[in-house]
Structure 1
Amino acid sequence: MISKHTSDLVKERADITEVVGDYVQLKKKGQNLWACCPFHGEKTPSFSISPAKQIYKCFGCGKAGDPIQFIMDIEGIGFQEAIRHLAGKYGIEVEEDEKLTPEQNQEQNERESLFIALNFAKDFFVKNLNTEEGKSIGLSYFKERGFTPQIIQKFDLGYALDGWDNLLKEAKSSGFQEDILLKAGLVLQKEGDPSRLYDRFRNRVTFTIHNISGKPIAFGARILTKDKNQPKYINSPETPVYHKSDVLYGIFQAKKAIRDQDNCYLVEGYTDVVSMHLSGIENVVASSGTSLTEGQIKLIKRFTNHVTVLYDGDSAGIKASLRGIDLLLEGGLNVKAVVFPDGEDPDSYSRKVGSQAFQDYLEANSRDFIGFKIGLYQDEIAKDPIRRAEIIREVVQSIGKIPDPIIRSVYTKEASGLLQIEEEILFAELNKSLLKGQKDRFQKAQEEKEAEERIEELIPIQPQAISLDEVLEIQEKELVRLLINYGLEKLGEEDFLLSQYLLEETQEVDFKTPIFKKILFEYRSKLAKGEIPSIEYFIGHSDPEVKKVIIDLVTPRHEVSTHWHERFQIFINRESDDLSATAFKSILRLKRRLIHKMLEEAKNKIKLGEEAGEDSDKIFELQQVFFELKKVQLEIDKELGIVIG
């Protein structure tokens, strides 16, 4: 296991802005940074990063934590792996304290073992380029394409030797178990004899597929011979660490450039990506020959809202792949397209014309998706009126995929000019398309609702009003929020802390919510030792539930802009302006809820006593308790300004 010293160093060095910034595009708003959440689909940013507190919080899905927790969430790994990841990022040497048992090792480190095996395979393929076979076949192929040693190293390009078990033998001699090699997709089982294993990649050049943090997670391999019985490319299968629908080739090498350029070039193949890097264009990724997926679109959107799709000079192929543009539009991305001359692709054309001419071509021929799509069908529009009407509807349907109404309107006007048709007709058709989409979604929602109702008929669920215990939990949460956020603040001019006031006033109050009770107990214990626990103390707490609750309590959803005061001289009251009144009212509200609960309990006792025919003196005593509680409630109501109690 990783030593505490290493964990502490990582916690000190890891910066939340740098860590999250490797995965999403951040924008400053007020004191915090904001982004669209990488954990759930959203169009309006609700993911907040606080550099001052070194925490993140999504107000949409509720994810929250520190830099280590973010890596655990985004990579789907455990604490130990997250520490190793960040240690690598910040150049911290990892120290280990003790070894895990074989059972713990298998349970906790299988995923890490897969990463290690895949990294071993990557190194093996790369080293093969220096063998006689690798030089004569693999390296010569890369050199023919103009790949420099720097580019080969940057993308971890390699070569799989000709033979059935070169990798298998090397891996086993290095201590790797066969089941890990199988799960990593590096070897296959022979049909009819599962005990016989052989290499998946043989006699091919290899392209390493990295995840967003740079770890090898899969491989693509190209055959160099003209064997019609073999596919041109073979790829790694789905594994616990590789889900191809969520991965883009080249994203690790491209993410910084995409963010800097605020644009992402989208191509089809591995060599297209590598060749564009050779031409000085680094903000490029590939879908690796698969149809574009929602997961891949979300991955692009983490870094930019602008995509330029590069198409080979093949009209039929372009028309067949136009659905990808609609998916990009639906994902909220602004789409442009570039078409290369007939018979050319990004790889061949960049090698043909050179770096500068290639960059100039991209800039000069980049068209928004409307002009691009209409241009594709220009000949058909001119020759066939019926086909023209069909294409107009297709264009309108594409515009209808755009979630932003203003951008939809702009593109509709542009399409009107290009198609030489009245705007009113296009807007009417667009509204019909949008209405149909809404009806379809409504119909689907109704069907889902009816299905749920049918299930509820089998298992009736009785809706319940909010209970007194739930209301009490809200008040307990509010008091703990004040304690954590303002516990170190002084009340008035006296040398009396808000934490002391709150804890004294709640000394005899028994909190009902376990997590708030735990936080309050720990706060009291620290205070009894002469220590005042800070926000940072609780954010770094060993209990994940405590940490998550504290982050929720200290992260505000909205900030008041400084411009209200600086520019317009408008003053906004804040709860921190008068903490004495804020704390006093919070205590009163909590006690009011407790009194309310006690009143209900007293009322029930009186009712049960009367029904059981208890002694009148006992009933009278219970009534006196009820009336005294009612008096206290009325006094609290008066202080809080509640007219009807």
Structure 2
Amino acid sequence: MRISNEITERIKQAADIVEVVGDFVSLKKRGSNYTACCPFHNEKSPSFNVNPVRQIYKCFGCGAAGDSIKFVMDIEGISYGEALRHLAQKYNIEVEEEQQTPEEVLRQNERDSLYIVLNFAQKYYQNLLMEHEEGQSIGLSYFRNRGFNDPTIKSFGLGYSLTDWDGLTKEAAKKGYNPELLEKAGLALHKEGDAQANRATRYYDRFRGRVIFPIHNVSGKVIAFGARILSADKSQPKYINSPETEVYHKSKILYGIYQAKNAIRQEDVCYLVEGYTDVISLHQAGIQNVAASSGTSLTEEQIKLIARFTNNITILYDGDAAGIKAALRGLDMVLEEGLNVSLVTLPDGEDPDSYVYKVGAEGFKKHVQQATKDFITFKTEMLLKDAGDNPFKRAEAINEIVTSITKISDPIKRQIFFKRTADLMKMDEQTLISEGNKHLRRREDKAAEKPTQSKPKDRLRERPQEPTDIHFSDNFIEEEFGILVEDSVPNSVPNVAPKHEPPTDLFKQRLYFQEQAFVKLLILHGQTELETGISLCRYLLHEIGEISFENQLFDLVLNIFRQRFGLGEIPSTDYFLSHIDPDIQRFSIDLCTSKHHLSENWEKHDIVVPTDEELLHEIAFKKILRLKMAYSATKMKDLLNQMGKITGNSDEEFAQIMEVQRQYKFYKNINDLAAKELGTVVPGY
């Protein structure tokens, strides 16, 4: 029995690290992070750090580290599967468990294939936009006229589809992607063949002669596309979008959320707009905490997605009064989710895209600041204006506003809004409160009529006394290699020393630290492009060839990169930070967290410290050389030890000595060349 990968992913996306940890410890905000006294060991000064951007925690005292799932595992002393069930219950996610069938295994493989072919399509469309004559003259000209620069085009992965019927389909076939997969990904359509005429089924592109807007999920994977026609052909819809697929559900995603999520956390507000270009224009102007509902009403899933990053939503409206009034009815669910929602109307005839282009970022921010009204006030003013002096319409308006206020779960907020609404409507506050209480009682009565689910028995919060000797968890084996293993007991306790301690031997130690530095580069910067089309991952893997690492953990990480790169993708830092194997996860978190930070006074005195990203090419080149030196030095030492055990008294042993000398000379040459490039003195052996 197991929890499906789809449900597991929903749980991971829903489980906010601050909320989960906050259920067990009292967190205090410090800068962009949160701190507390560690729940895993006794301490008086807080060394436990929670990072809401990375969605990880790290204790600098005992070394405990992980994500939301790992925290629940460790704090409750339960297994991975049980921690998932705990979080599913917390976030009201229904879990259906069943044994995986061969068809389900195949389905998961298909999901992976969909991500790969969608990523291929995005790169294909963007290449046409930037390199193809038709793409440049039509698509790129359109984006340039909208004011989009190259970094923006690259950040959002914008592209262009040719007017050809099957340009993408043919190119995909050359790369080995079958047309059935393109159809499942929403990229192609098909026309049934004619058996009598001996004609095969023909596949053709869904998107033709349009500019392309890739849609990313929260983790940055391309899951769908929106496409806009630029010709004046009235027979064609202005926009067409990908259909629902295994990986794309329109009601669960917001356009631009991947690019916006960090800014939303930092600004503590999400600006919600309607269209793709609204998001892109504001983002380019420096207003990056913005996402789009893509012309649809907000759904519960989208609201919960925003709630992962902030409790504040500001909706920017450019519609007419009738359109705004219709949209307001759907915003009560935002209040039910406990979020604070405000609204801003733009000047007549303006949308976010045109208005920010007209007044600039500062002018736009100034207007938002001056025109923002909370949802209740906005709704009250609009409904009263619409009702005028008609007593029946005013009564309907009052009833509708009271209903909205009762959706707010916080009683203090409800009291504030009742008072404000009473002032706006010039009526007795107590009358509104009494009417609101009636609504609340009716809602409670309806809830009481529903059958209640039995609560699970409280689990004893016992922690395992000793860690298991198993290095890789069952769930890790399942994730990486597709082998189904039933839920296991926790395979580590949070303050156990990691299983990648450096060896005592000097040569092995040097190799250990170079291997560690190499995989650190891969995990932190593997997706970074050193130059167009050349990622750091590709460069590093090419330079080291097929060598294996001495350290088991580092070798495993290296092989994950090799495997995924062979499939056309590069694992992100977030992939390793939430990895199911605790050793990989703890190691990755160690790489991403630092107890010490540069003082702000350095900037005041104009002391500039270059970042790794700025020196990445040079760092990568030197890391490869140092790794080769450490690797060859270890091999040379082993060969010398091997030679000391051969007497050379027979022809066979003499041949062995010659072979060892040949290998020694080979590694010595590598060592000397690397040392020369680095300007390093090579120690004697």
Q: Indicate whether the TM-score tops 0.5.
A: yes
Task: Tell me: CA distance 1:103–1:286, structure 2 relative to 1, closer, same or farther (3 Å).
Answer: closer
- For the 8 Å contact 1:23–1:212, the answer to whether it is kept is no
In structure 1, the partner of 2:353 is: 347
In structure 1, the partner of 2:444 is: 438
In structure 2, the partner of 1:267 is: 273
- Residues in 2 aligned to 1:31 and 1:290: alpha-carbon distance in whole angstroms: 44
- For the 8 Å contact 1:279–1:359, the answer to whether it is kept is no
- Give the counterpart of 2:37 among 20, 27, 30: 30
In structure 2, the partner of 1:407 is: 413
Task: Tell me: CA distance 1:302–1:65, structure 2 relative to 1, closer, same or farther (3 Å).
Answer: farther
- Residues in 1 aligned to 2:16 and 2:307: alpha-carbon distance in whole angstroms: 14
In structure 2, the partner of 1:600 is: none
Matches within 5 A, 1:143-542: 143-190=144-191, 195-443=201-449, 445-446=450-451, 481=463, 483-484=465-466, 534=496
In structure 2, the partner of 1:120 is: 120
Q: Which amino acid aligns with 1:196?
A: R
- For the 8 Å contact 1:313–1:344, the answer to whether it is kept is no
- Residues in 1 aligned to 2:176 and 2:77: alpha-carbon distance in whole angstroms: 38
| Structure number with higher relative contact order (C-alpha < 8 Å, ≥ 6 residues apart) | 2
In structure 2, the partner of 1:54 is: 65
- For the 8 Å contact 1:249–1:287, the answer to whether it is kept is yes
- For the 8 Å contact 1:279–1:356, the answer to whether it is kept is no
In structure 2, the partner of 1:627 is: none
- For the 8 Å contact 1:400–1:433, the answer to whether it is kept is yes
Cα offsets for 1:546-575 (capped at 9, x unmatched): 989xx9xxxxxxxxxxxxxxxxxxxxxxxx
Task: Tell me: CA distance 1:168–1:547, structure 2 relative to 1, closer, same or farther (3 Å).
Answer: closer
- For the 8 Å contact 1:158–1:207, the answer to whether it is kept is yes
Displacement after TM superposition at 1:141 (Å): 1.3
C-alpha RMSD of matched pairs (Å): 4.4
* Bigger radius of gyration: 1
Cα offsets for 1:351-381 (capped at 9, x unmatched): 2222221121111111111221122234224
Task: Tell me: CA distance 1:373–1:151, structure 2 relative to 1, closer, same or farther (3 Å).
Answer: same
Q: Which amino acid aligns with 2:357?
A: R
Cα offsets for 1:193-235 (capped at 9, x unmatched): 6821110111111101011111111100011123232221111
Task: Tell me: CA distance 1:547–1:160, structure 2 relative to 1, closer, same or farther (3 Å).
Answer: closer
Q: Number of residue pairs matched?
A: 426
Displacement after TM superposition at 1:109 (Å): 3.6
Cα offsets for 1:19-62 (capped at 9, x unmatched): 97799997444336799999xxxxxxxx9956432233476999
- For the 8 Å contact 1:268–1:287, the answer to whether it is kept is yes
- Residues in 1 aligned to 2:376 and 2:420: alpha-carbon distance in whole angstroms: 8
Displacement after TM superposition at 1:331 (Å): 1.2
- For the 8 Å contact 1:23–1:303, the answer to whether it is kept is no
Q: Which amino acid aligns with 2:156?
A: F
Task: Tell me: CA distance 1:203–1:62, structure 2 relative to 1, closer, same or farther (3 Å).
Answer: farther
Task: Tell me: CA distance 1:197–1:537, structure 2 relative to 1, closer, same or farther (3 Å).
Answer: same
Q: TM-score of the superposition, structure 2-length normalised?
A: 0.55
Displacement after TM superposition at 1:326 (Å): 1.0
- Residues in 1 aligned to 2:333 and 2:52: alpha-carbon distance in whole angstroms: 19
Q: Secondary structure at the match of 2:379?
A: helix
Q: Which amino acid aligns with 2:181?
A: I
- For the 8 Å contact 1:22–1:255, the answer to whether it is kept is no
Q: Secondary structure at the match of 2:225?
A: strand
Displacement after TM superposition at 1:298 (Å): 0.8
Q: Secondary structure at the match of 1:197?
A: strand
- For the 8 Å contact 1:381–1:388, the answer to whether it is kept is yes
Structure 2: runs of 5+ lacking an equivalent: 1-11, 21-31, 40-47, 89-101, 195-199, 468-485, 501-551, 557-579, 586-685
Cα offsets for 1:593-620 (capped at 9, x unmatched): xxxxxxxxxxxxxxxxxxxxxxxxxxxx
Cα offsets for 1:451-487 (capped at 9, x unmatched): x9xxxxxxxxxxxxx9xxx99xx8xx77x736239xx
Q: Percent identity?
A: 47
Displacement after TM superposition at 1:343 (Å): 2.2
Q: Which amino acid aligns with 1:174?
A: K
Instruction: Indicate the structure with greater helix content.
Output: 1
- For the 8 Å contact 2:33–2:52, the answer to whether it is kept is no
- For the 8 Å contact 2:50–2:58, the answer to whether it is kept is no
In structure 1, the partner of 2:479 is: none
- For the 8 Å contact 1:23–1:302, the answer to whether it is kept is no
Cα offsets for 1:405-441 (capped at 9, x unmatched): 1111111111111111111011011111111211222
- For the 8 Å contact 2:163–2:208, the answer to whether it is kept is yes
Q: Which amino acid aligns with 2:399?
A: R
Q: Secondary structure at the match of 1:117?
A: helix
- Residues in 1 aligned to 2:51 and 2:163: alpha-carbon distance in whole angstroms: 46
Task: Tell me: CA distance 1:322–1:53, structure 2 relative to 1, closer, same or farther (3 Å).
Answer: same
- Residues in 2 aligned to 1:262 and 1:65: alpha-carbon distance in whole angstroms: 34
Task: Tell me: CA distance 1:360–1:104, structure 2 relative to 1, closer, same or farther (3 Å).
Answer: closer
Displacement after TM superposition at 1:288 (Å): 1.2
- For the 8 Å contact 1:276–1:282, the answer to whether it is kept is yes
Structure 1: runs of 5+ lacking an equivalent: 1-15, 39-46, 75-101, 453-465, 486-513, 524-532, 552-645
Task: Tell me: CA distance 1:424–1:104, structure 2 relative to 1, closer, same or farther (3 Å).
Answer: closer
Q: TM-score of the superposition, structure 1-length normalised?
A: 0.58
- Residues in 2 aligned to 1:37 and 1:441: alpha-carbon distance in whole angstroms: 34
Task: Tell me: CA distance 1:34–1:321, structure 2 relative to 1, closer, same or farther (3 Å).
Answer: farther
Q: Secondary structure at the match of 1:383?
A: coil
Q: Which amino acid aligns with 2:312?
A: H
Displacement after TM superposition at 1:318 (Å): 0.4
Q: Which amino acid aligns with 1:30?
A: C
Q: Secondary structure at the match of 2:296?
A: coil
- For the 8 Å contact 1:336–1:369, the answer to whether it is kept is yes
Q: Secondary structure at the match of 2:207?
A: coil
Cα offsets for 1:226-261 (capped at 9, x unmatched): 323222111111122212211111011101100000
- Residues in 1 aligned to 2:127 and 2:230: alpha-carbon distance in whole angstroms: 19
Q: Secondary structure at the match of 2:304?
A: helix
- Residues in 2 aligned to 1:23 and 1:483: alpha-carbon distance in whole angstroms: 27
Q: Which amino acid aligns with 2:395?
A: A
In structure 2, the partner of 1:637 is: none
Q: Secondary structure at the match of 2:465?
A: helix
Displacement after TM superposition at 1:133 (Å): 1.1
Q: Which amino acid aligns with 2:118?
A: L
Q: Secondary structure at the match of 1:225?
A: coil
Cα offsets for 1:81-140 (capped at 9, x unmatched): xxxxxxxxxxxxxxxxxxxxx999967643222111111100111111132211221111
